[in-house]
C-alpha cells in the first residue's frame, strides 16, 4: 500500500503581525495558494527551533522554504544549521522551492552570496522579465506582474545556477539552482490583500525611505500571475518527477 506523501513547509518566519492575525501563517498562505494543484498532505517544520527532517525521507514529496523578516547576511546560528541541511537536501535531489528569504538562503547555502540590495527596497506590485524558458514559466508570458517585499538580494549566484528572470530592482528574481531546486525572490503566496497589508504596516518606514505609499498601493490588484510559478513547481517538478 502506498502512503500519501507530504509537502513539507519549512518555516523561517511569519508574516507581519496584522497579516498574521487576519490571514494566518506563511504555511496557511502557501497551502491556500497551492490549492487543488497538490493532492497529498502537508507538514510544517520550524527551521528556527524545530528538528529538520531527513533530506531524503521517503514520506517527503518536496520542501517549500518560506519567507522571513530575518536577513541571511546576519548569519545567525539557526541559519547556518538550515544552510547545512539545505545542502544535503539539494544533493539528494528532493524537490525544493524557496520563497524570498527561502530563495536567498538557498543561494547562500549553495555557494552564492546574499547582500543588502544596493538599489533599495522592493515592495508592492512588480513586473518580472523572463530571461529564459523553463517549466516553472509554463503558461506565463515573457513578462508578468506579481508581489514582492524584500531588502536583501542574491548578489552572487552559486556555481551552476541559472538566473531565469529579473526586475528593475533585482537581477535574480527566479533562480534555477538544479533541475529540482528553484527559488523566487517574489512572493507567489501573497495576494493583493496580503501585500497591501505589508505596505500599510510598513508605511512609516517606507515614507522615511522616500517611497510614496499611495503610489505603491494604487496598482495592487487580484490579477497577479506569480502564483503560477508555485503551481508549475508542483505540477512539473514534484508530481511528474515522483
- Tell me which residues are annotated as active site: 100, 187, 189
Q: Which of 5, 166, 22, 180 is nearest to 97 (CA)?
A: 180
Q: Which of 43, 17, 21 is nearest to 30 (CA)?
A: 43
**What's the CA gap between 30 and 52, in Å, rounded?**
19
Alpha helices by DSSP H, the chain: 17-23, 26-34, 77-92, 101-109, 192-201, 203-208, 213-217, 227-232
The DSSP letter of residue 68 is: -
Specify whether the CB–CB gap between 89 and 47 falls below 8 A.
no
**What's the CA gap between 183 and 174, in Å, rounded?**
6
Q: Which residues pair with 129 in a beta bridge?
A: 143, 166
Residue 130 contacts by C-beta under 8 Å, 6 or more apart in sequence? 137, 140, 142, 143, 164, 165, 174
CA distances from 32 to 26, 35, 50, 153 (A): 10, 5, 23, 27
Q: Under DSSP, is residue 206 helix (H, G, I), strand (E, B) or coil?
A: helix
**What's the CA gap between 216 and 213, in Å, rounded?**
5
Amino acid at each position: 500500500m502506498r502512503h500519501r506523501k507530504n509537502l513539507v513547509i519549512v518555516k523561517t518566519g511569519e508574516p507581519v503581525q496584522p497579516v498574521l492575525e487576519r490571514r494566518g501563517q506563511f504555511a496557511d498562505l502557501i497551502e491556500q495558494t497551492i490549492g487543488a494543484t497538490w493532492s497529498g498532505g502537508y507538514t510544517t517544520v520550524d527551521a528556527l527551533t524545530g528538528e529538520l527532517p531527513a533530506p531524503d525521507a521517503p514520506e517527503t514529496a518536496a520542501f517549500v522554504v518560506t519567507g522571513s523578516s530575518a536577513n541571511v547576511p546576519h548569519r545567525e546560528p539557526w541559519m547556518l544549521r538550515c544552510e547545512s541541511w539545505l545542502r544535503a537536501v539539494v544533493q539528494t535531489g528532493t524537490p525544493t522551492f524557496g520563497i524570498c528569504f527561502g530563495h536567498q538562503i538557498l543561494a547562500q547555502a549553495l555557494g552564492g552570496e546574499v547582500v543588502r540590495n544596493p538599489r533599495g527596497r522592493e515592495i508592492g506590485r512588480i513586473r518580472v522579465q523572463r530571461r529564459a524558458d523553463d517549466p516553472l514559466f509554463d503558461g506565463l508570458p515573457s513578462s508578468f506582474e506579481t508581489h514582492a517585499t524584500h531588502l536583501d538580494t542574491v548578489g552572487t549566484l552559486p556555481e551552476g545556477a541559472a538566473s531565469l528572470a529579473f526586475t528593475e530592482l533585482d537581477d535574480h528574481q527566479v533562480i534555477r539552482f538544479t533541475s529540482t531546486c528553484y527559488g523566487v525572490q517574489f512572493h507567489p503566496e501573497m495576494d493583493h490583500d496580503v501585500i497591501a497589508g505589508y505596505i500599510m504596516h510598513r508605511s512609516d518606514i517606507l515614507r522615511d525611505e522616500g517611497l510614496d505609499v499611495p503610489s505603491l498601493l494604487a496598482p495592487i490588484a487580484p490579477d497577479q500571475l506569480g502564483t503560477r510559478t508555485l503551481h508549475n513547481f508542483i505540477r512539473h517538478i514534484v508530481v511528474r518527477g515522483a
